[in-house]
Copies of this chain bind each other. A is one copy, B any other.
């Protein structure tokens, strides 16, 4: 009899349904089916993959009421957020289908031969990207739909032509099973083999470890904590055949506020910050964890306004007990630091479920050193307001930050242009996305969106987990040299039968 675990309603800390733990045999069977599917011609048909993605989107929307209800029970997230997240998830699947339609994600390059080239003759070389192989995806707790079973990693891997084996997050197993049911059905509708998609549930780490170790797995997508992502990346690096791990991990998402910005719109910035810190329990990878605020009266008024507004936010339900406990411990470490003080006066939450009182802390910017509790990620509705007394203090503090998903600047056109340039450079040097006069939460799914950044924000700073270029993670190039026409994939054939953009002798063209 397999081991079981329960889902839990975080609003009430009571058990919901029971689920069977996957075991080693389930991992082996899923990976073997994925490997078989990878080598079948069906999965190489981009129209079939587009049909799978569009079919999954349609099916998720059709099953929306059921999914949102179960997800609401398992995550405590409000219905409006889950409906929006479901639409985002469906839209993301469709956006990758459109990438397949356009077809130029294969980055086709054709170099025509030149027998007279020096120092050696140039052959006919045609190169495109092909799928890397079966992909393991680790779903995140905080986005039960958009970064989970059928989230961005799954969508981009399937679009690339890679079968996917998901290790569903144990914090929302029922949601995962419903979503997996729809994706499997969509694969069947599209004529794709069973091994195209699998979903494994387990509360322990053994299933995930077995998945990372499985020889047929060619890459891993992960969204979660720095400790979790690093453990998986380390494990994958130790394999006899190491594989890439695309882990999106921790970030404190610093925000810089200038004196001029405070003078012009302190209240607007405070309102936006409070929402960005506390919405959905602050459990977002792009939640602002640290804000650099000027010393002085305007700054004092700003930080007190932020703290007072956070005091008035109802203690938000967190995703699960583990996250709540980890947040509590991290906040205690923060509060113990000699230079840190708590702002505001709301009491800690003492009632039912896993909740935490939104809160602001304050410290001098000079106290924020690498490795200190001040620069730890607090995954919840908590923000640290770092006060800087001078331009040099601001720049020095920014230079001490590690890799980030985002960095933001609130400034005014009449701010010192040189200073803004330096701040922008410091943020771009350590973050994947630089946001002006806004907040980093609410990551739009667009062609150019970059949701990544230098370590420890991710394990692979050259890649993104959101946006259309996320497909690049699951592809590798192959070049064909002097290949006879019949063996060439359509993307590389002379006549350009798919009508895609290609680089021919260095020039981008759709010509045949």
- B484 near A413: Cβ-Cβ < 8 Å: yes
Contacts of A503 in B (CB 8 A): 447-448
Name A54-91 residues within 8 Å CB distance of B: 83-85, 87-88, 91
- A444 contacts the other chain (Cβ, under 8 Å)? yes
Q: What is the bound-complex CA distance between A192 and B373, given in angstroms?
A: 40
Residues of chain B with a CB closer than 8 A to A31's CB = none
- The answer on a CB contact under 8 Å between A446 and B118 is no
Which A residues from 419 to 442 make CB contacts under 8 A with B? Answer: 420-421, 424, 428-429, 431-438, 442
For A, the interface residue count at a CB cutoff of 8 angstroms equals 88
Is the CB–CB distance between A126 and B448 below 8 Å?
Answer: yes
Kindly list chain B residues whose C-beta atoms are within 8 Å of the C-beta of A389.
none
User: Which A459-495 residues sit within 8 Å CB-CB of chain B?
Assistant: 459-462, 464, 467-469, 472-473, 475-484, 486-487
Is the beta-carbon distance between A434 and B123 smaller than 8 angstroms? no
A448 and B241 contacting across the interface, CB-CB below 8 Å:
no
What is the count of identical protomers in the complex? Answer: 2
Which residues of B are found within 8 Å of A468, using beta-carbon distances? Answer: 506
Q: Once the chains bind, are B118 and A484 in contact (CB under 8 Å)?
A: no
Segment 393-438 of A: residues with Cβ below 8 Å from B = 402-403, 413, 417, 420-421, 424, 428-429, 431-438
8 Å CB contact of A109 from B428, B447, B459, B484 = B447
**Is A456 an interface residue, CB under 8 A from the partner?**
yes
A388 is an interface residue with CB less than 8 A from chain B: no
A216 nearest CB across to chain B (Å): 12
Q: Which of A123-167 contact B (CB under 8 A)?
A: 123, 125-127, 130, 132
Query: CB distance B487 to A444 under 8 Å?
Result: no
Q: Which residues of A contact B (CB under 8 A)?
A: 39, 83-85, 87-88, 91, 98, 102, 104, 107, 109-111, 117-123, 125-127, 130, 132, 233-234, 237-238, 241-242, 244, 402-403, 413, 417, 420-421, 424, 428-429, 431-438, 442, 444, 446-450, 452, 454-456, 459-462, 464, 467-469, 472-473, 475-484, 486-487, 501, 503, 505-506, 508
- Please list 19 pairs of residues, one from A and one from B, whose beta carbons are closer than 8 Å in the complex, sorted by A's number: A87-B118, A98-B506, A107-B469, A111-B444, A111-B449, A122-B446, A125-B444, A127-B449, A132-B461, A233-B237, A234-B237, A234-B238, A237-B242, A241-B455, A244-B460, A432-B479, A434-B478, A452-B477, A462-B473
